[in-house]
Amino acid sequence: MIDEPKNALSEIASDPSFLMILAGAAIWYIGFYMLFIGPLFTTTGFALVCFASATTALKRPVTTAWPGMLLGGLVMVVGSYLTWIFIIGPMIYVAGAVMVIFFAIPLAVQRGELPILTEIQKFWDKQSEGKKKAEEDDAEADEPEAIDAMEDSEEPEEPDEATSDNYQ
């Protein structure tokens, strides 16, 4: 029998750490309505969602990772435009952010590379290799002059008798 691919929402709901993710999302959501300790709640909820998502990241397939991340990003953008709606706006924002975190962590852990990041890394490596090679070439070019100068200074020249008489 062929297994049908799960959609993004059913994959989150079937995760073993779903309750911990849900608790983190609730704490994160409550942080929007706390006056002075709101940042503490939002940070704690965010960290709990990240931790709970990372605990099972290696066991999750990455087949739905990109669609889940895109859907989560879209939900997050819509939620950010609706934050002025008292209850629903922040709830939509947190739900989208949880989806992005839930699907980004296994993708990063299992695949470990994004095409744009690998291209940037290759460019950076070429630039640093070019700089190192240029520095080595400069160092090699400077070394013979320094060695010649040292050789000259090691053996002091004896003054010529004809010129030494003129200075006395």
pLDDT value of position 72: 93
pLDDT value of position 15: 86
- Rg over alpha carbons for the chain, rounded to the nearest Å, is 32
Nearest Cα residue to 31 out of 79, 95, 94, 106: 94
pLDDT value of position 2: 43
For residues 133 and 76, give the distance between their C-alpha atoms in angstroms, rounded to a whole number: 46
- What are the domain boundaries of the chain? 8-112, 115-151
- Is pTM beyond 0.95 here? no
- Measured from the Cβ of residue 8, the count of other Cβ atoms closer than 10 Å reads 18
pLDDT value of position 1: 39
pLDDT value of position 163: 56
Q: Which residues of the chain have pLDDT under 50?
A: 1-4
